[in-house]
Structure 1
Amino acid sequence: MPLTPPARHNAPAGTSRVSADRIAGHAAKQRADVLAVIVKAGAFGATDAEIEAATGIRAQSVSPRRGELRALGLVVDSGRRRSTPRGRPAAVWVAASLAWESPLDSTPAHHRKETRA
């Protein structure tokens, strides 16, 4: 199979930099929102589709923000997979501090009823 060269960048010169500068502050808020959903989910974790549903942030923005959080060492792939609304397997992301926990209950922490001993 022959290799195809990468597609030529079609945007006018300088527009990518302008877009990146414009989104910088917005991206920080999105990162915080994405992290909040993952932390709130606890050991149950969250898929990108679940994060999108919880935050209203479009998938095209959830994935890069979650990737940035991963690069910062704040979230990790749990190694588990859950189905997306379209039935495809998706990585389940958890806060790095919770990566060692096992989700014995498949219900997110914020949906569980707390019990007191």
Structure 2
Amino acid sequence: MKRVLIVDDNQINRRLAAALLKKCGWHTEEADSGMAAFERLTEARFDCVLLDISMPGMDGEEVCRRIRADEALANLRVIAYTAHAMEFEKARIMQAGFDDILVKPVTINALTAVFSD
């Protein structure tokens, strides 16, 4: 079973993503901050990270840059989970090292499209 770490400071967003991903057959874990996510990623193996962009403290772009800089994590699939859907925002997000973007509010179809790779 594939494992995904869902990172968002908003509990409702984490729970929604977790419920939808579980329906798709993924095992989910949750983290409520960038720092908690990075710590969890160094402790356990995941196939993917669904990472909120706007979080207090360490935002999603910084977490992604740290993942890409860590030799053990550099090849991990990282998907931005964000309400920032303007084209210039998407370009900036992708430049931070993300593999894909999932725009909130998430739907099962959008989630399936991003996680079918």
Give TM-score, length-normalised by structure 1.
0.28
Report which of the two has the higher share of helix: 1
Q: Compare relative contact order (CA 8 Å, sep 6+) and give the higher one, 1 or 2.
A: 1
Report which of the two has the higher share of strand: 2
Give TM-score, length-normalised by structure 2.
0.28
